[in-house]
Amino acid sequence: MTTTTTGTDTVALPRRTAPLSSADQRRGARRRRLGACGVLMTPFFVLLVTVFLIPVGTAVWLSFFGADQPGLGFGPERTVFVGLRSYAAVLTDPTFLGGLGTVAAYCLFYIPLMVVCALALALLLDSGVVRLRAWAQLALFLPHAVPGIIAAIIWLYLYTPGISPVIELLARGDITVDFLGVHTVLPSIVNIAVWSNLGYNTIIFYAALQAVPREVIEASVVDGAGPVRTALQVKTPLVRSSIVMVAMFTLIWGLQLFTEPMLLGQQTPMINSRFTPSMYIYDAAFNRNNYSLAAAASVILLLFTIALSYGVTRWTNRSAEKQEAAR
Amino acid sequence: MTTTSAALRPRLLGRTAVNTVVGVCVLYTLLPVLWLVLAATKNRDALFSSELLSLGDFSFFANLGELFAMDGGLFSRWYGNSLLYAVLGAALGALISVACGYAFDKYAFRHKEKLFGVVLAAVMVPQTVLALPLYLMASGVGLVNTFWAVFLPVLFNPFGVYLGRIFSQGYVPDEVLEAARIDGAGELATYFRVALRMLGPGLVTIFLFQLTAIWNNFFLPMVMLSDQDLYPLSLGLYTWNSSATVSPEYYPVVVMGSLLAVLPLILAFMMLQRFWRSGLTAGAVK
């Protein structure tokens, strides 16, 4: 864009008597543009500073300061520097580590399941043999329009004996399942998440598949590859960037897991108030009023998220390079 | 082209299998919603006997009446609040994000990519990390338990800026801006009169993304609000659902309330389909 401007100016130069004034003019135009740019960006960056940068800074600051009551707890409370004490407290707290483990298990189970199912569905839709494709897409997308808390409510009722027609049906076949038991509660949460996001991710993959040039697919058919091989070995590698994007967002959201366990927790004792790190933060800040502990847990969750996202990007980049080198 | 598609077309068996798999997935996504619709027509006894398809009981309107009468008509308050937070917030938020994304695309300045990196980093940061500091800041300026405590933070949408930049690249050719400049139009006038119109579909997509996010918002209201009159639907239904564990008369009300809470987003997605489909594709492919 800038090069185009300079280009036109150079062309116009010979007609002008004083080249200096043209430079002045250019500087004026540049200043006007930067001014406009500033005006357009200011509202967003005001928000960025007030509801993002300052809060992150505050969380870090809070994590290093704790409440201390001098005089055997009778004196007025005051805030003192406690260094890494809150971090040590969080990292040695078995309930926090348990929550981290829960979320890790959830992600390890949920992300591959989600990516594989959504990609498989998108490839099937893209194969061209599905009937009523537009309707199928709309139906698959529907749960995305159901708010997370409502999805959790629907599934909670479908998991509750006495209300659920699913449990009723299974009972007729002499199968009893406790969807909210010790070992089933996490898969039950995964199911809610898959239900909510499957169609949305399928459509993202489908859109990416539609953008694959038809010549590439024709070439693979000419080479004698069947539809399944074409789908797995030709189409799938070409939508890599979408796969990485979906996996990344699923990971970031997965690490924040909060709404579904909060709601299911109303009904089952298997979910305690510190079931996930986000619930731990909420519990520490608003039930126990220990801001320092909550802030330290927040910073740890943040670092964990950044490290994992960075790891995923690095890993996918490296395997992409390897793939390029192999070709 | 015809030969390839003929070669790609699987045999009849494969075709049936593919359609069955897709059909099962469609049932998986549709049936829970259908359950919600049927359950909303049942009174409490029928709800607990799991007899969804029996036609003997049709309590849809009784449930509806009960829903709006419950706790002094709180539900309509929550509905209004949710609409206000989500529609106003998403409209304003989308405008802010698109303006910033457009500026990132069309203007050059020092450290631009580094600044954009900060925006992208903000996408990654969990809401739960920001909630406590935001609460403390809001309580410092006396905004806790007010409309603004929920409304202001939801305007911030870094992913919208990312999408806005992509849409601006795709929908607003640089030549248009050059032409406007040669005509002597001001930079901001060009944005508001020319570029913003071309960005329409992108704006709708970002609006819908944000509408969904705010309608879904649960953590922030839970932290910020204690006055039930300010609750959005998500938090309100959560509270009623927890009451239902003690007093079961809340169950039909929660079911009916959930059904009504789903409607606006479905309506929005259906009405704006033409726009978001193209927008989603643009965002996904690049």
A165·B50 Cβ contact <8 A:
yes
Secondary structure class of A67 (helix, strand, coil): strand
A147·B261 Cβ contact <8 A:
yes
A41·B104 Cβ contact <8 A:
yes
Question: For residue B170, which amino acid is it?
Answer: G
Element (H, E) at A65: strand A65-68
Homologous superfamily (CATH) for B65-285: MetI-like (1.10.3720.10)
A158·B32 Cβ contact <8 A:
yes
Instruction: Pick left, alpha or beta for residue B50 (phi over 0 → left; psi -120 to 50 → alpha; otherwise beta).
Output: left
Which tokens in the block code for residue A241? 């960037």
Quick one: average pLDDT of B33-59?
74
Which tokens in the block code for residue A293? 């502990």
Q: In chain A, which residues have their Cβ closer than 8 Å to the Cβ of B163?
A: none
> What is the average pLDDT value for chain B, to the nearest integer?
84
Which tokens in the block code for residue A312? 């995923």
Q: Which of A315, A124, A234 is nearest to B18 (CA)?
A: A124
Q: How confident is the model at residue A9 (pLDDT cuts 50, 70, 90)?
A: very low
Quick one: closest CA in A to B10, which residue?
Answer: A227
Judge whether residue B283 has pLDDT over 60: no
In this structure, what are the phi and psi dihedrals at residue B59, rounded to the nearest 5 degrees?
A: -110, 25
Quick one: closest CA in A to B32, which residue?
Answer: A154
pLDDT confidence of residue B128? 83
Quick one: average pLDDT of B240-250?
83
Mean pLDDT lowest among A75-79, B186-190, B245-249: A75-79
Judge whether residue A48 has pLDDT over 70: yes
Which tokens in the block code for residue B249? 């008369």
Q: What's the gap in Å between the CA of A260 and the closest CA on chain B? A: 11
Q: Which residues contact A285 (CB under 8 A, 6 or more apart)?
A: A291, A294, B131, B132, B135, B223
Q: Measured between alpha carbons, how far is A237 from A239 in angstroms, rounded to an integer?
A: 6
Q: In chain A, which residues have their Cβ closer than 8 Å to the Cβ of B161?
A: 44
Residue A146 has its nearest CB partner, among B181, B237, B262, at B262
First to last CA, chain B: 26
Q: How confident is the model at residue A207 (pLDDT cuts 50, 70, 90)?
A: confident
Which DSSP string do the residues of A100-168 spell out, in sequence order? HHHHHHHHHHHHHHHHHHHHHHHHHHHTT--TTHHHHHHHHHGGGGS-HHHHHHHHHHHHSTTT-HHHH
Residue pair A44/B96 in contact (Cβ under 8 Å)? The answer is yes
Q: Measured between alpha carbons, how far is B25 from B45 in angstroms, rounded to an integer?
A: 31
The segment with the largest mean pLDDT, out of A111-120, A123-132, A138-147, A198-207, is: A111-120
Q: Which of B282, B106, B98 is nearest to B203 (CA)?
A: B98
Half-sphere exposure of A222 (CA within 13 A, CB side): 8
* A19 vs B83: which has the higher pLDDT: B83
Q: In chain B, which residues have their Cβ closer than 8 Å to the Cβ of A295?
A: 132-133
Strand-pairing partners, residue A81, are A65
Q: For chain B, what are the domain ranges?
A: 1-36, 65-285
Q: Measured between alpha carbons, how far is A21 from B168 in angstroms, rounded to an integer?
A: 33
B223·A286 Cβ contact <8 A:
yes
pLDDT confidence of residue A16? 43
A65-68/A78-81 β-pairing = antiparallel
Quick one: average pLDDT of A297-315?
87
pTM for this prediction: 0.84
DSSP 8-class letter at A14: G
Residue B33 has its nearest CB partner, among A127, A146, A281, at A146
ipTM of the modeled complex: 0.85
Judge whether residue A240 has pLDDT over 60: yes
Q: Measured between alpha carbons, how far is B119 from A278 in angstroms, rounded to an integer?
A: 23
Q: In chain B, which residues have their Cβ closer than 8 Å to the Cβ of A278?
A: 126, 128, 219
Q: How confident is the model at residue B267 (pLDDT cuts 50, 70, 90)?
A: confident
pLDDT digits (tens, 9 = 90+) for B50-104: 566 666 667 778 788 888 887 888 889 999 999 999 999 999 999 999 999 999 9
Q: What's the gap in Å between the CA of A53 and the closest CA on chain B? A: 9
Q: In chain A, which residues have their Cβ closer than 8 Å to the Cβ of B130?
A: 51-52, 55-56, 59
pLDDT digits (tens, 9 = 90+) for A27-38: 887 888 888 888
pLDDT digits (tens, 9 = 90+) for B155-178: 999 999 998 998 898 888 888 888
pLDDT confidence of residue A326? 66
Q: Which of B168, B175, B102 is nearest to A36 (CA)?
A: B102
B241·A156 Cβ contact <8 A:
yes
Quick one: average pLDDT of A97-117?
92
